[in-house]
Amino acid sequence: MSELNNIALKILEKGKGILAADESTGTMTTRLEGVNVPSTPQNRLLFREILFSSSSMRECIGGVILYDETIKQESSKKNKIPELISEMGSAPGIKVDIGAKVLAGSPDEKITEGLDGLRDRLKEYFQLGAKFTKWRGVYNITKNYPSQLSIQSNAHALARYSALVQECNMVPIVEPEVLMEGEHSAKECFEKTSEVIKKCFDELILHKVDLKGIILKPNMILSGNKSKEKISGEEVAKLTLKCLKNSVPTEVPGIAFLSGGQSELEATENLNLINKHNDTNFVMSYSYGRALQQSALKFWSKNTQNIVGTQKVFNHRARMNTLAAQGRWSKDFES
């Protein structure tokens, strides 16, 4: 087995998932101000360090995606953040794209940028201790979208990014996110997500990316958040598994779902149902941001010195998702 395959499997072993703590400074500011906490570098670090030093890091979190600011910060104990994460038995990772910008030729769609200078940035992040990276492409569903231009352009960018990351001996997380925003049906989400993922793998193969050394981070198959249609968790699981079985080459070691606007409970429940019905060889786990942190953030905002209480809230959510990643979660465990 290749070293990259080992890293990917270790991140997702035994129901472990990925904590997406890679919110940009702008997004983190919105989150903190939303709970009346000033967004300073110190506060952003304080909240993240509380999560990174919780006990569930050892049992539940196999990898942490960091933002450029955080990977260069020091913890309160004066060790570098990647060192803190590694000491907790988890792998430090880094978001390397610079965000989704307007796609030339289709101004209602987005293309993710950040390939310029990426090779040099990757070398720096590797030196700082990163074991894996993340790049997110976004696609919206409407009557005319995602267009072929958007599907092709984002797949090409994800493939070029992945090739450069593997060249630097890190595992690329490939994240093609078909957004939940919209009035589309689950059937439309299934069709568009299948098309997007297939095109991504066409490009990854063309760019000679080792599929055994990546992690796929897709959306689940859901109806749009403004759709009149509401489908059951069982249906979400069935459609999601069907999509991935038809679209993802069997060499891929693991799939870590994004939560994509689902509530904490929905994200856990749907992941559990996917794993209850999982008849593939893929490890199916989670790579959640808000769906792991939201309750902890709300609790912490009431008293930013209550570290133990905040960790207790975070530990609970992480454990629930790790049970779900093994198909062993039940609503009874939530109380």
pLDDT of 335 reads 86
* Fold assignment, 3-326: TIM Barrel (3.20.20)
pLDDT of 1 reads 56
> In Å, how far are 126, 207, 216, 233 from 201, measured between CA atoms?
25, 10, 10, 27
Q: Which two tokens stand for residue 61?
A: 């979190």
Q: Which tens digits make up the pLDDT trace of 116-134?
A: 999 999 999 999 999 999 9
Phi and psi angles of residue 161, each rounded to the nearest 5 degrees, phi first: -60, -50
pLDDT of 109 reads 98
Q: Which residues are catalytic?
A: 217
Is the full-model pTM beyond 0.85? yes
pLDDT of 219 reads 98
Q: Where are the domains of the chain?
A: 3-326
Residues of the chain with confidence (pLDDT) below 70: 1
